[in-house]
Amino acid sequence: MSELLNNREIKKEKLKEMLKKLHSGEDEEKVKEEFKEVLRSISPLEIPLIEQELVKEGITPREIARMCDIHVEIFRESVKGAESEVKELPAGHPLRILYEENIEIMKDAEILNLYASSLLNLEGKNKVNVLRTLEGIVRGLKAIGYTHYNREEMIHFPYLERRGLNAVPAVLWRKHDEIRSEINRLLREIKKEDYEKIVEISQDVASRLIDMVFRENNILYPTLKILLSEGEFKAIRLLDDEIGYYKVRPGDEWSSNAAPIMPYEIYEEITPEQLMSLPQDLIEEMKSKMGDLKLRPDKTELIREGDVKLEDGYMLPEEISAVFSTMPVDVTFIDYQDRVRFFSGGERIFTRTKSVLGRPVQLCHPPKSVHIVNKILQAFKNGERNKAEFWIDMQGRKILIQYFAVRNKEGEYLGTLEFTQDITDIKKIEGERRLLEWS
Amino acid sequence: MSELLNNREIKKEKLKEMLKKLHSGEDEEKVKEEFKEVLRSISPLEIPLIEQELVKEGITPREIARMCDIHVEIFRESVKGAESEVKELPAGHPLRILYEENIEIMKDAEILNLYASSLLNLEGKNKVNVLRTLEGIVRGLKAIGYTHYNREEMIHFPYLERRGLNAVPAVLWRKHDEIRSEINRLLREIKKEDYEKIVEISQDVASRLIDMVFRENNILYPTLKILLSEGEFKAIRLLDDEIGYYKVRPGDEWSSNAAPIMPYEIYEEITPEQLMSLPQDLIEEMKSKMGDLKLRPDKTELIREGDVKLEDGYMLPEEISAVFSTMPVDVTFIDYQDRVRFFSGGERIFTRTKSVLGRPVQLCHPPKSVHIVNKILQAFKNGERNKAEFWIDMQGRKILIQYFAVRNKEGEYLGTLEFTQDITDIKKIEGERRLLEWS
């Protein structure tokens, strides 16, 4: 233990020396080269402790943040394989984006720790200022959950699941959620200004974030690299763009002419060669979760006979009708020539009968309001408006009636949607009621 | 004028005599026979005036209501053609139902007038009691609007429109709406207890209702009878049942093996023979509205190439996708095997990417809440539940997440619908904003 402390003492002194040199304006590249060894010797899990001590000794967070950047840069190399992977992959390749995001996450984890630790040595206005900064940092961390983690959960994991690799995605997702929930808890403690808890949870969040970087860099990404084809990465990149990235703007070096392959288009099984090259940690995880190594690939055909191909999925006509009937709203669609083409079944607020199919909408309205109907349609057709909404009281219920211009992806007018719902009960909803509270 | 008064005086005396006989327990059939002539001589527009005078002389509304029944029965015969039509048509034929409803409407118009008039001669508690009864009657009249009139507007009119007969439906609908609006105005005056206005508007509503009966019996129904085929009446009856009837339970004498014909399936034009048999009033109306007698039948084909046949209509796959994208809600559908089959595009609250298509829903949820997801699905599958709903706060917005069991018409479980919407703005909606206020 004393050796460890001494060791850290030395590292700390070295870092202080480095910061002074940076402070005095020495060339950053030269400084980096000189202190490369000591920086490399500091693990990402150790640096928060050193930083905390530096803060105690009066080094400002701003200076330490600068050190962080350099450390992260050095650290990239020390993350097993990661840097070489990044270098190997062309900018814009989905795997490279993941590695790049993880470098950002590492840095943020350190900064989080740093600011949290510095709180303990501050008083009064300074303390409050740092707390506000910390709050901003923590709020920013939430984006990891809905970009980087969300992409993995929604886009990358399905490619593994089709091959029967369910265990690792499940473990990672559970840990992602723990991190999300810890970040939320941290925000609540920041609101309460419970400094002891803030420091404690910040350190916990930081170490969880770093742990996840390691797991992803060492298990998930190598696995994806071994198993996925170019067409799969092509699809992933297209889908990734829909969700967005964490602090990274993907480069445009990588491009592929391969046809995108969706998870539901995969029927191959993992080959023995692939299995042998998979990270040992993955194999261990699978063994511990599944008891055996028997993979159960998912070869379900997505598309069935009679399926209607829609923009985002496939449904049978019977399913489409039933979905519309089930929705707690009335839907009616008129085409670009103002003729009623469809209305939803089920329990309706305003009854519709098949006799109105094909009928010009102008003949479906009380004659005295037809001129307004025409005005709205005109505004939809010439692109001036996309929505018109009304609400009325009917037998003690509040009814919301919304009209929307329906356009295709090219923006062309396809028709108008009438969307009617009874909002009486919705208006009364207060507080929260979460999935886990269901009974 | 004095002759008219005298005449009415005689009728009134006769009616009083009749009521006395009924009151003393004389056989109703015999009384009816005896007073047939005088009852027949009273027009529906005249009876309210006589009733009003009887009320003034102390006959109770209850006694007069009894007289009403008898009068209406007699009156049926005096409505030109109506009674013979009813007799000619088998019970349950759509036209017979319309005539039967009109008999009920005639009776209600009289009762309305009667109660309203009696208000003028009452004071104190009695007056208030009659007002409450009147309010109940008027509320009941609203049903004419959403049954009898609504069926004509939504079911019967389209059959005429396809043949190019647009003018008469438009005129009738406008008058229907005037009646609806007068009924609502009457209800407001009843709330305000403005007795003079109440009597005035009641008489107006009654006379409008009676006027409409005449127009329908003499113009609309004969026209339908001349033009429509058995298959069309078959379809009408099926659709009529969906909307419902005014105070009439259709008999089951009429049945037809003809295939139902929807308005959009009609391509025939009116034949010269048909045109010559149409009611003169209809021809006059058409002349005055259209300037000429040139019919412009609507022969538009409802079904286009590529159309998907849905329960209530036809849409192209592109339209279905665009409708889902346009709806101000997120929709996701999983099939009966728990696999994601479809999600709506457009602006979403919770991002979805195509990579989840075909994925078991259990793998699309944070692992810690999967057991709840399974519980809900189980309850949907075994029919215990049809709905599970949750609401959460997210970045200052209130998000409502509803799950519905999707079943086909036979009640079989087809899958589950996730229906998510941002209800923040809906919760703030107050008052009313009507179509006519649009700008």
What confidence category does residue B2 fall into, taking pLDDT thresholds of 50, 70 and 90? very low
Task: Kindly state the percentage of chain A with pLDDT values over 70.
Answer: 87
Tell me which long-range contacts B305-311 makes (C-beta under 8 A, separation of at least 24). B308/A308, B308/A317, B308/A320, B309/A317, B310/A317, B310/A320, B310/A321, B310/A324, B310/A342, B311/A321, B311/A322, B311/A324, B311/A325, B311/A345
What's the burial of A27, exposed, middle or buried (CB within 10 Å: 0-12/13-18/19+)?
Answer: exposed
Of the listed ranges A85-99, A240-254, B354-368, the least confidently predicted one is A85-99
Q: For the residues B164-177, what does the mean pLDDT come to?
A: 91
Question: 0.95 exceeded by the pTM?
Answer: no
Tokens of A246: 């964490």
φ, ψ dihedrals at A398, nearest 5°: -100, 120
Cβ neighbours of residue B388 closer than 8 Å, sequence gap 6 or more = A438, B376, B379, B402, B403
Angstroms from A262 CA to nearest CA on chain B: 6
Q: Is the pLDDT of residue A47 over 70?
A: no
Q: Kindly identify which residue of chain A lies nearest to residue B373, measuring between CA atoms.
A: A435
What is the pLDDT at residue B296? 83
The answer to whether ipTM exceeds 0.90 is no
Select the residue from A154, A232, A354, A427 to test the B interface by mutation, using most B Cβ atoms within 10 A: A354
Helix (H/G/I), strand (E/B), else coil: B247 = coil
Q: Is the pLDDT of residue B402 over 80?
A: yes
Of the listed ranges A92-96, B67-71, B380-384, the least confidently predicted one is B67-71
Helix (H/G/I), strand (E/B), else coil: B399 = strand
Cβ neighbours of residue B84 closer than 8 Å, sequence gap 6 or more = none
Among candidates B302, B339, B405 on the partner chain, residue whose Cβ is nearest the Cβ of A357: B302
SS3 string of A231-273? HHHHHHHHHHHHHCCCCCCCCCCCCCCCCCCCHHHCCCCCCHH
Q: How many CB pairs under 8 A join A and B?
A: 313
What is the pLDDT at residue A46? 61
Residue with tokens 């005037």: B178
Helix (H/G/I), strand (E/B), else coil: B59 = coil
SS3 string of B117-155? HHHCCCCHHHHHHHHHHHHHHHHHHHHHHHHHHHHHHHH
What confidence category does residue B336 fall into, taking pLDDT thresholds of 50, 70 and 90? very high
Task: Kindly state the percentage of chain B with pLDDT values over 90.
Answer: 60
Q: For the residues B107-118, what does the mean pLDDT come to?
A: 86
Report the C-alpha gap between A356 and A372 in whole angstroms.
20
Q: Is the pLDDT of residue A202 over 60?
A: yes
Report the C-alpha gap between A224 and A233 in whole angstroms.
9
Q: For the residues A240-265, what does the mean pLDDT come to?
A: 95
Report the C-alpha gap between B439 and B421 in whole angstroms.
27
Contacts of A322 in chain B (CB under 8 A): 311, 406-408, 414
What is the pLDDT at residue A70? 67
What confidence category does residue B48 fall into, taking pLDDT thresholds of 50, 70 and 90? low
Q: Is the pLDDT of residue B112 over 70?
A: yes
Q: For the residues A251-280, what does the mean pLDDT come to?
A: 91
Q: Is the pLDDT of residue A50 over 80?
A: no
How does pLDDT run across A306-358, given as a tens digit for each residue?
999 999 999 999 999 999 999 999 999 999 999 999 999 988 898 899 999 99
What confidence category does residue B398 fall into, taking pLDDT thresholds of 50, 70 and 90? very high
What confidence category does residue A197 fall into, taking pLDDT thresholds of 50, 70 and 90? very high
Tokens of A257: 């002419």
What confidence category does residue A294 fall into, taking pLDDT thresholds of 50, 70 and 90? confident
What is the pLDDT at residue B80? 47
Q: For the residues A119-124, what does the mean pLDDT come to?
A: 80
Q: For the residues A389-397, what does the mean pLDDT come to?
A: 94
Between residues A370 and A57, the one the model is more confident about: A370
Cβ neighbours of residue B330 closer than 8 Å, sequence gap 6 or more = B343, B344, B348, B349, B350, B352, B418, B419, B420, B421
Q: Kindly identify which residue of chain B lies nearest to residue A235, measuring between CA atoms.
A: B355
CA A170 to chain centre: 16
Q: Which of B418, B415, B417 is nearest to B337 (CA)?
A: B415
Length of chain B: 439
Is A154's CB within 8 Å of B353's CB? Answer: yes
Q: Is the pLDDT of residue A1 over 50?
A: no
C-alpha distances (whole Å) from B157 to each of A124, A188, B94, B164, B282 are 78, 62, 13, 11, 14
Is A342's CB within 8 Å of B310's CB? Answer: yes
How does pLDDT run across A60-97, given as a tens digit for each residue?
766 666 666 666 665 555 554 556 667 789 999 999 99
Q: For the residues A411-430, what does the mean pLDDT come to?
A: 97
Q: Is the pLDDT of residue A212 over 50?
A: yes
CA A66 to chain centre: 28
Q: Helix B2-23 to helix B28-41 angle, to the nearest 10 degrees?
A: 170
Of the listed ranges A31-40, A354-363, B25-34, the least confidently predicted one is A31-40
Residue with tokens 């006395």: B20
Angstroms from A52 CA to nearest CA on chain B: 32
What is the pLDDT at residue B52? 64
Task: Tell me the one-letter amino acid at B61.
Answer: P
Cβ–Cβ < 8 Å for B298, B291? no
Report the C-alpha gap between B14 and B41 in whole angstroms.
11
Mean of all residue pLDDT scores within chain A: 88
Report the C-alpha gap between B123 and A267 in whole angstroms.
86
What is the pLDDT at residue A12? 75
Is A312's CB within 8 Å of B352's CB? Answer: yes
Q: For the residues B207-227, what does the mean pLDDT come to?
A: 92
Tokens of A215: 């797991």
Is B154's CB within 8 Å of A353's CB? Answer: yes
Contacts of A406 in chain B (CB under 8 A): 319, 322-323, 326
What is the pLDDT at residue A231? 97
What is the pLDDT at residue B432? 95
What is the pLDDT at residue A241? 96
What is the pLDDT at residue B27? 85
What is the pLDDT at residue B293? 65
Contacts of B367 in chain A (CB under 8 A): 170, 173-174, 177
Is B319's CB within 8 Å of A335's CB? Answer: yes
Q: Is the pLDDT of residue B42 over 70?
A: no
Contacts of A396 in chain B (CB under 8 A): none
Is A341's CB within 8 Å of B355's CB? Answer: no
Q: Which of A129, A127, A12 is nearest to A64 (CA)?
A: A12
What is the pLDDT at residue A193? 92
Q: For the residues A274-291, what does the mean pLDDT come to?
A: 78
What is the pLDDT at residue B76? 54
Q: Is the pLDDT of residue B372 over 90?
A: yes
Mean of all residue pLDDT scores within chain B: 88
